[in-house]
Amino acid sequence: MAEGEAEGESTSAEAGDHGDSDESEHPDADDSGDSESPGEEGDGSSTEGSTPSEDDEDDASTSGAPESTSGGESTTEGTTSSSTAAPEVDGTATGDDTTTGDDTTTGDGTTTGGETTSESGDPSEVCGALGWATRIGRTDEPYSLTGGGAGTPVVVSTFSELQSLAEGSEPRVIHVDGTLGSGFQNGSGSRLAIGSNKTIVGLRPGTELRAAILISGSSNVIVRNLVIRGPGSDDAQSWDNINITSDAANVWIDHCEFWDGQDGNADVVRGADNVTFTWNIFGYTSNGGHNFSNLVASSDNEPESVGRLNITLMFNHFTGVAQRSPRCRFGDIHVVNNLFTTNGLPSDNGTSAGVQCRILTENNHFIGIQHPIHEREGGVNELRGENIFENTSGDQDGYGGSAFEPPYEYGHVLVPASEVQDLLQGRVGATLDDPSACE
């Protein structure tokens, strides 16, 4: 959106990166039907300008009328003040799962650094980014992720102010005061394009942004403590709640909540690189038939993504997701210390590595998920450390060989899978009391 436009003014109706319609009625189908995404997004200060291809869909259990969430998790204690509270990470599995007990898979790998907990005993007390966002490309060369830097924060109380300050590459720290934006659906409504060198943080717990987020071609970006709520998933497959695309790099998304994305909750596509998601919720509250959350690359034919799309997902809660938590191509994806629950909704599959994607699945807790380790041709999914599969069904074995060694330190915050559920309780999502807080 242009600088100074009125709050809630519509943008052009551009679709999101929903990729290929490759999944057949069975969730373990291969990617034989992938099609190329033909267009490119903008430069970080404008909305997307392409017509995307279709993405993998499995309607076996996600189609049909929306289902009630009353059988899933309850409200997280002390989390958001918005209308849909974060689900309590109580571990209650719903649905008809066929395996018994708390199955544990243990690998023989070791973590960088070798430590298993933070010095304080609470990883949530460790401030600052970690993971791929702190590296340059697929190397161990450090990147100084500063966002807007140490400048004086600017407090915004209207969406037009936020839009204007988020544009361009001038370093800015922006604090969001109140609920901003007018909502979005079917490729129109409020959409926030974030330029380079920005820190955008909600002032208080549950700060709601009624706008989709686009980070296109930008670098050195930090977004924290916001709730983004989509209109609900459906076959229209329009904007994602957040889309990181077109060579965007070194992006840290922390303590946010992404609910009910129409196309997806958080996609990273088209050559974006070095992204870290920590302490976020990726969730759905009803079954719209397209509860497909985190897509990495929208097509098997995406040459700009080869050797890029390196992403860390740590201390996040995926809930009510049918597919894509994440589903990836090309990237090196570190999925570590996350919780996966159903929220009483259908589950088709969990992590899913396709063409040239390598997932390192480490110390996660899966509850009630079908095919938690979903195998695809051309991908690698290595299980390392301890992953708990509780009341899950279907595939839960690694495949494709070894993944990769993370070139960053994380052993000081790594916890056993058995501690993940309790650790996330009350901490995950937009729970920060003030913009400088860790929890």
For the segment 32-52, the average pLDDT, to the nearest whole number, is 36
> For position 286, what pLDDT does the model report?
97
Q: Cα–Cα–Cα angle for 135, 138, 139, nearest 5°?
A: 65
Whose CA is closest to 235, among 39, 58, 49, 51?
58
Q: What percent of the chain has pLDDT over 90?
A: 69
d(CA 180, CA 139): 38
> For position 387, what pLDDT does the model report?
98
Which residue has tokens 């994440």? 326
**Which amino acid is located at 11 in the chain?**
T
For the segment 211-229, the average pLDDT, to the nearest whole number, is 98
Query: For 100-104, 405-409, 420-424, which range has the lowest pLDDT when averaged over its residues?
Result: 100-104
pLDDT greater than 80 at residue 223 = yes
Higher pLDDT, 107 or 327: 327
For the segment 336-345, the average pLDDT, to the nearest whole number, is 97
> For position 75, what pLDDT does the model report?
33
Structure letter (DSSP) for residue 119: T
pLDDT greater than 70 at residue 113 = no
pTM of the shown model: 0.80
pLDDT greater than 70 at residue 425 = yes
Asked if 309 contacts 296 with a C-beta cutoff of 8 angstroms, the reply is yes
What is the Cα gyration radius of the chain?
19
Distances (CA, A) of 47 to 40, 44, 51, 221: 11, 8, 12, 17
102-424 is a CATH 2.160.20.10 domain: yes
Whose CA is closest to 290, among 331, 232, 239, 340?
232
> For position 14, what pLDDT does the model report?
38
d(CA 339, CA 378): 26
> For position 291, what pLDDT does the model report?
97
Query: For 205-209, 235-239, 341-345, which range has the lowest pLDDT when averaged over its residues?
Result: 235-239
For the segment 57-85, the average pLDDT, to the nearest whole number, is 35
pLDDT greater than 70 at residue 423 = yes
Condensed to tens digits (0 to 9), the pLDDT of residues 186-202 reads 999 999 999 999 999 99
pLDDT greater than 70 at residue 12 = no
> For position 438, what pLDDT does the model report?
66
For the segment 357-369, the average pLDDT, to the nearest whole number, is 98
Three-class SS string for 58-97? CCCCCCCCCCCCCCCCCECCCCCCCCCCCECCCCCCCCCC
pLDDT greater than 80 at residue 211 = yes
d(CA 59, CA 356): 25
pLDDT greater than 50 at residue 130 = yes
Condensed to tens digits (0 to 9), the pLDDT of residues 309-323 reads 999 999 999 999 999
Neighbour order of strands in the sheet with 327-328: 191-193, 212-216, 242-245, 266-268, 295-296, 327-328, 351-353, 373-375
> Alpha carbon 253 to chain centroid distance?
8
Domain boundaries, the chain: 102-424
> For position 125, what pLDDT does the model report?
81
Checking 397-405 for CB contacts under 8 A at 24+ apart, the result is 397/105, 397/373, 398/105, 398/107, 398/361, 398/373, 399/373, 399/375, 400/353, 400/358, 402/109, 403/332, 403/358, 403/359, 403/360, 404/332, 404/358, 404/360, 405/112
> For position 10, what pLDDT does the model report?
36
Condensed to tens digits (0 to 9), the pLDDT of residues 172-188 reads 999 999 999 999 999 99
Give residue 396's pLDDT band: very low, low, confident or very high (50, 70, 90). very high
Give residue 120's pLDDT band: very low, low, confident or very high (50, 70, 90). low
Asked if 248 contacts 75 with a C-beta cutoff of 8 angstroms, the reply is no
pLDDT greater than 60 at residue 27 = no
Asked if 343 contacts 317 with a C-beta cutoff of 8 angstroms, the reply is no
Query: For 18-32, 109-123, 275-289, 339-353, which range has the lowest pLDDT when averaged over its residues?
Result: 18-32
For the segment 257-286, the average pLDDT, to the nearest whole number, is 98
For residue 309, the SS3 value is: coil
pLDDT greater than 60 at residue 147 = yes
For the segment 59-67, the average pLDDT, to the nearest whole number, is 35
